[in-house]
Amino acid sequence: MVNTNVTLCKIKIDNPVIPASGTFGYGYEFAQLYDINCLGTFSFKGTTREPRFGNPTPRIAECPSGMLNAVGLQNPGVDKVIDTELPKLKKCFNKPVMANVSGFSVDDYAYTCEKLDKEEQIGWLEVNISCPNVHGGGMSFGTDPSSAAQVTRAVKSVTGKPVIIKLSPNVSDIALIARACEEAGADGISLINTLLGMRIDLKTKKPLLANITGGYSGPAIFPVALSMVYRVYEAVKIPIIGMGGVSCAEDVIEMMLAGATAVQVGAMNLVDPFACQKIINSLPAAMEKYNINNLNDIIGGAHRWEKT
């Protein structure tokens, strides 16, 4: 019998498969389709201090082997998440959940995290300093090591929960930024967020997205994400959540070999709402195929081969 349990920032989870923020709502929507307690956990929709309508439409565009989105952090705001969304979730999910937090200032991040810190069901705070689809915040904090560290310190000062900083791939040295977050007290790192991209409508000669650019996700970005997880694993000692184009159990194993302790699944949830359930169900067979008895044994395994 294989062991799929892993420990993420001192919290044990049944398996490393985690639906990524923005692709799984607040969980109860998917609970109408299957028992979401099969998940390791999930990261709920990005939450901000105040309600946000998001970007103008169109804000989704299909691409070969992926998609572009420029939703713009649409959410009801932290107070409504606490008062309305979390009570609904509690009825269908009995495990700790990951709260994804975004902001437009250091104070925004601290305020929202301090509010969520009081919620018993929240196990981790995933602090998104890497959203490419909003102006005046988001990714701007994740492109500079000192800004990333500043947000990390501010959040750590208001919460006792594990803080996981979500990083952008749209930088020259992601390992440098990860190290700055670790030194500022981060308990973990999530990577990668979406790659910046765009498409143009040949008939209208205009960008397909009203926001012009958006975040590119899907299977096409998997090799990019894998290489960045590999690099960051060599730069930090804290756990990593790997994501970006994950679509099957083999991808989960590959991410863990690169250095991930847990793995998020994003765009595939929008293609197939049962994607995470299928990955979890097929994970034991994939482990047996590659002679893996315990997932904890393979974390960072690709770094241990004899380099010649």
Measured distance CA(117)–CA(244) in Å, rounded? 27
Residue 131 is a catalytic residue: yes
Residue 303: inside a domain, yes or no? no
Inside any domain, residue 272: yes
Nearest to 67 by CA among 201, 267, 206, 256: 267
Decide if 294 is inside a domain: yes
Is residue 161 in a domain? Answer: yes
pLDDT at residue 307, as a whole number: 59
Out of 131, 181, 248, 276, the active site residue is 131
| Residue 304, domain member (yes or no) | no
* Domain span holding position 211: 6-298
- Determine the residue type at 60: I
34 within domain boundaries: yes
pLDDT tens for each residue of 33-62? 999 999 999 999 999 999 999 899 999 998
Indicate whether 249 pLDDT > 70: yes
**pTM for the full model?**
0.95
Q: How far apart are CA 246 and CA 256, in angstroms?
A: 12
Query: What's the rounded Cα separation, in Å, for the pair 103 and 49?
Result: 7
- In percent, how much of the chain has pLDDT > 70? 96
Does residue 120 sit within a domain? yes
- Please state the rounded mean pLDDT for residues 199-214: 95
Q: Is the per-residue pLDDT at 306 higher than 80?
A: no
Q: Is the pLDDT of residue 304 over 90?
A: no
Average pLDDT, the chain: 94
Q: Which of 86, 92, 91 is nearest to 119 (CA)?
A: 86
The whole-angstrom separation of Cα 184 and Cα 223 is 29
Query: Mean pLDDT lowest for which of 87-101, 123-137, 165-179?
Result: 123-137
Residue 306 lies in a domain: no
Q: Please tell me the distance from the alpha carbon of residue 257 to that of residue 298, in angstroms, as a whole number.
A: 6
* 131-169 pLDDT, tens digit each: 654 545 555 677 889 999 999 999 999 999 999 999 999
- Residues 97/121, Cβ–Cβ less than 8 Å: yes
pLDDT for 130 = 75
**Tally of domains within the chain:** 1
Both tokens assigned to 265: 């699944």
Q: What is the pLDDT of residue 182?
A: 98
- Write the CATH number for 93: 3.20.20.70
